[in-house]
């Protein structure tokens, strides 16, 4: 399926926390969106790979994604090498996104920054026809390179290059986060408290979205950094 936007992230729930509002804004204007999770999040303290998969499926329904895949790379141990680039290259060629959204360039969790570079490099390599990958039927895939790669901002503060107004989509974004019942604040769950599961972290996520929104005169926003200079055809394109 040809997608307009593909969000690729290290763990199930990275996308929901960081760019779900942007994906919802895209679906609202008829764009096709998809998500690829690199790992099953199997090193997480709470939940299991199976519960994470069920939570991701519930969040995907809320977000209205056209497709969601999990590449099953090893949580905590994937590397930016040929072995781990090739599955991402195949996914990019399979879905042919014009825009890729991916992990923060640096962050508290080492998987995030490492995934950012891995995904960015795979986006470039996917456009090289001499790199061979096969589709699900065993046929060679055509080369494909996304036009744009943007990095969402996660835990650590990074000054965004641009901010997307997600105010109309905040409630659905928050619902997609709460779909991960094992991962975030849930007083009904008997499980160890983690960095993400505290009530303070939930308040932080809302505060971060309000901070980004404030930057552009909106109530809620999501911030991104770019790799290449952004351009506009005329000043009316700017918000």
Beta strand pairing status for 148-152 and 33-39? unpaired
Looking at the whole model, is its pTM more than 0.85? yes
pLDDT in the model for residue 237: 83
pLDDT in the model for residue 236: 85
User: Which parts of the chain have pLDDT scores under 50?
Assistant: none
Contacts of residue 7, defined as CB under 8 A and 6 or more positions apart, other chains included, come to 15, 19, 23, 33, 34, 35, 36, 100, 101, 102
Homologous superfamily of domain range 5-237: LmbE-like (3.40.50.10320)
Q: What confidence tens digit (pLDDT) does each residue in 36-78 have?
A: 999 999 999 999 999 999 999 999 999 999 999 999 999 999 9
pLDDT in the model for residue 235: 87
13 and 174 Cβ atoms separated by less than 8 Å: no
Which tokens go with 89?
């290259």
Q: How distant, in Å, are the alpha carbons of 88, 137, 149, 203 from that of 199?
A: 34, 46, 32, 6
pLDDT in the model for residue 192: 94
Q: What confidence tens digit (pLDDT) does each residue in 207-229 have?
A: 999 999 999 999 999 999 999 99
47 and 72 Cβ atoms separated by less than 8 Å: no
């Amino acid at each position: 399926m040809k997608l307009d936007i593909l969000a690729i992230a290290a763990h199930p729930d990275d996308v929901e926390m960081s760019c779900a509002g942007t994906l919802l804004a895209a679906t609202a204007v008829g764009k096709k969106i998809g998500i690829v999770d690199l790992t099953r999040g199997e090193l997480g303290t709470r939940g299991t790979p199976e519960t994470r998969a069920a939570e991701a499926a519930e969040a995907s329904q809320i977000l209205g994604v056209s497709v969601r895949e999990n590449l099953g790379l090893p949580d905590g141990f994937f590397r930016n090498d040929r072995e781990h680039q090739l599955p991402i290259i195949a996914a990019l060629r399979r879905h042919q996104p014009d825009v890729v959204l991916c992990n923060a360039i640096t962050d508290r969790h080492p998987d995030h920054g490492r995934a950012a570079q891995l995904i960015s490099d795979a986006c470039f390599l996917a456009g090289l026809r001499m790199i061979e990958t096969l589709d699900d039927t065993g046929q060679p895939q055509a080369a494909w390179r996304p036009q744009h790669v943007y990095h969402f901002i996660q835990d650590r503060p990074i000054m965004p290059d641009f901010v997307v107004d997600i105010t109309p989509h905040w409630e659905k974004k928050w619902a997609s986060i709460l779909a991960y019942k094992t991962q975030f604040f849930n007083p009904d769950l008997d499980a160890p408290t983690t960095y993400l599961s505290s009530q303070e972290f939930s308040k932080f996520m809302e505060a971060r979205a309000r901070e980004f929104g404030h930057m552009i005169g909106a109530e809620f926003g999501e911030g991104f950094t770019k790799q290449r200079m952004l351009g506009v055809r005329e000043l009316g394109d700017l918000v």
